[in-house]
Amino acid sequence: MTHAITINVSDALYQQLYQAASLFQQPTEAIILDSLRHTLPPIFEDIPVGYQNDVFPLLAMNDQELLQESRRVFPSEHWQSYESLLEQKKLGQLLSDDEQALQALRREADVLTFRRSYAAVLLKRRGYRLTPPRGELQSA
């Protein structure tokens, strides 16, 4: 289903759209739709509802803040605790408090993963790329 909208644009923007449409031999509407698709931030439908509030603040971050977010790592002491608790669970030796700690660590790791991934997506959409292995921000 499509929806019709009416917007007012400046003469300069209209000329730019018209020139792009002529250059690509496409209707102006196609140029506008393509521009919107590439400009709007990605939606959260791929992120579980329980994590969307953790990821949403990234939309307001500037490039440097997003770069910092994309470089965050799970603290090694948390990782060691997580692995130890997971091993205890496999052996059936996990206490109730330990189960809660394991769930909290799992959520922390999930939040970190979602935020890092979303930060990388936003940076890419802003014209940057993260290059392995150092994750340096480079203009595309």
Q: What is the pLDDT of residue 16?
A: 94
Q: What is the pLDDT of residue 137?
A: 52
Positions of the chain with pLDDT under 50? 133, 135-136
Is residue 25 domain-shared with residue 57, that is, in the same domain? no
CB 30 within 8 A of CB 37: no
Q: What is the pLDDT of residue 132?
A: 62
Q: Domain of residue 30: give its range.
A: 1-40
Three-state SS for 77-112 is: HHHHHHHHHHHHHHCCCCCHHHHHHHHHHHHHHHHH
CB 105 within 8 A of CB 82: yes
Helix 28-39 and helix 11-24, axial crossing angle in degrees, nearest 10: 100
Q: What is the pLDDT of residue 18?
A: 94
Q: What is the pLDDT of residue 134?
A: 54
Is residue 34 domain-shared with residue 81, that is, in the same domain? no
Is residue 111 domain-shared with residue 65, that is, in the same domain? yes
Q: What is the pLDDT of residue 66?
A: 96
Q: What is the pLDDT of residue 88?
A: 94
Count structural domains, the chain: 2
Is residue 13 domain-shared with residue 59, that is, in the same domain? no
Q: What is the pLDDT of residue 71?
A: 93
Q: What is the pLDDT of residue 140?
A: 52
Is residue 32 domain-shared with residue 55, that is, in the same domain? no
